[in-house]
Structure 1
Amino acid sequence: MKLSKKQRQSELKGTIEATPFTTDEELAKQFGVSIQTIRLDRMELSIPELRERIKSVATHEWNETVKALPIEEVIGEVIDLELDKRAISILDIKEEHVFSRNNIARGHHLFAQANSLAVAVIDEDLALTAGADIKFTRPVKLGERVVAKAAVQVEDHKGRTIVNVHSFVDNEEVFAGSFKMYREHDPKERNN
C-alpha cells in the first residue's frame, strides 16, 4: 500500500530521528519512492542532508573533544566518541578511494580510517601508533559505507595502550586491526 505524501513525510521524519545516518538511497528503497522524492521531502521538512546530520549529531553528543589530532584529520566522519573507551566513524567509498579498473577500495584508505580513529580515541595530546596487526577480510567496493568501531583495551606488557578497530559494511566485517598506541602519559598516572 502506497503512503500519502503526508504519511510518508511523517514516517520519514520518524525514521531519520531514530536512525540519523540513514542515506537517501536507503530511505528511497524503504518507502518505495525515488531518491529525488526523498530529497524533496527532506527539504520540505527542513531535514538536512546526511553529512550535515552526521556533523550535528557528533557535535551535540560529544562532551569531550579529540586531543591527539584535529578532528578534521580523522579519516571518515566521527559519529561517536568517548575518550579512552570507544569511537565510531563512517567512510563512504567514493571514486577517489578505489582502483579505476575494478572499483575496489585501496587498502590504505581502510587502514587510515581505522588508524586515525585509534589515535583519536586516546585521551592525550600526543598519541602515536607504535605497531599494528591488521587483517582485510573482504574487498570493499565503490559506493559502500564503511563503519569503523574502535574499543580501547588495557595496556600490554610494554605499557602501550591497545585499541582494537573492526570495520564493517552493513554487518559484514571487512577489516580488523589491533593498534599498539604510544601515549604521552601512562593512563594509571591520571588516577593517582
Structure 2
Amino acid sequence: MRVPKKDRQRELLETIEQNPFITDETLAAQFGVSIQTIRLDRMELKIPELRERIKHVATERLDDVRTLTASEVIGEMIDLKLDASAISILEILPEHAFSRNAIARGHILFAQANSLAIALIDDELALTTKANVQFTRSVRVGERVVAKASVMSHRQDGRSEIVVESFVGEECVFIGEFTVYRSSKEEVR
C-alpha cells in the first residue's frame, strides 16, 4: 500500500531533520520508493543533497581547528568541540582501496581516526605519541565511514587520551586509542 505523497514528504522531512546524514538510497529503501522519487521529493521540499547537508551541519557545529589545516583532516569534519569530541565522515573511494578486492586500505581508516584525534586538540601543535588500534571488519568501496572521537583525559604531562570509534552504519569497523602530545602544557579546562 502506497503512502500518499504529502504524508511521505512530511515523514521524509522529519527523517532528514533527525539524521541529516542519511542517504537517498537509504531513504528510498525506508519509504519503498525509487531513489528518483526521493530526489524529486527533496527538490520540492527544498532539501539539499547529502553533500550540501553535511557542509551545512559542519559550518554550524565546528570550532576552529588549530592543529591542522582543513586539507590535512582525512574525511569531512562535521562536528568539533575542541578538547572534547569530534566527528568526521569518509566516503571510501576506489583510490582508498586495494584494486583486487575493493577493500579499503587500513592506513586510510587509521589516517581518518588519527587526524580526527589531532584536530580536536586545542593547541598550535599536537602529535600522536602512541596508538593502539583494532580493525573489526573490512570496509569496502562505496561505504561511508563515520569516525567519532572523544577525549577521555588530559594528563599533567601535556598528553591527552583519545578514543576514536569508526562505524559503517551501526557496525563498528575500527577502534583506536590515541595518546596525543600537546605543545602547551597549560591546564585544559
Q: Could you say whether these structures have the same fold, taking a TM-score greater than 0.5 normalized by the shorter chain as the test?
A: yes
The equivalent of 1:145 in structure 2 is: 144
The offset of 1:158, in angstroms, is 5.2
Query: TM-score scaled to structure 2, two decimals?
Result: 0.93
Change beyond 3 A, Cα 1:187–1:51 = farther
In 1, distance between residues paired with 2:137 and 2:54? 26
Q: Give the AA of the match of 2:38.
A: I
In 2, distance between residues paired with 1:61 and 1:117? 15
The equivalent of 2:23 in structure 1 is: 23
Structure 1: 5+ residue stretches without partners? none
Instruction: Indicate whether 1:35 and 2:22 are aligned.
Output: no
Q: 3-state SS of the aligned residue for 1:28?
A: helix
1:1-192 equivalent positions in 2, closer than 5 A: 1-62=1-62, 64-155=63-154, 159-188=158-187
Q: 3-state SS of the aligned residue for 2:20?
A: coil
Structure 1 ranges of 4+ moved more than 6 A: none
Residues 157 and 185 of structure 2 are in contact (CA less than 8 Å); yes or no, is this contact kept in structure 1?
Answer: no
The offset of 1:70, in angstroms, is 1.7
In 1, distance between residues paired with 2:171 and 2:11? 28
Query: TM-score scaled to structure 1, two decimals?
Result: 0.91
Q: Percent identity?
A: 62
In 1, distance between residues paired with 2:26 and 2:135? 26
In 2, distance between residues paired with 1:71 and 1:122? 14
The offset of 1:5, in angstroms, is 2.0
In 2, distance between residues paired with 1:132 and 1:138? 19
Q: Give the AA of the match of 1:21.
A: F
Structure 1 residues 135-188: Cα deviation after superposition (integer angstroms, max 9, x where no partner): 111111122221111111224585421111111122222111111111111141
In 2, distance between residues paired with 1:155 and 1:17? 34
What RMSD over aligned residues (CA atoms) do the two structures have, in Å?
1.6
Aligned residue pairs total 189
Q: 3-state SS of the aligned residue for 2:37?
A: helix
Change beyond 3 A, Cα 1:14–1:113 = same
In 2, distance between residues paired with 1:158 and 1:104? 39
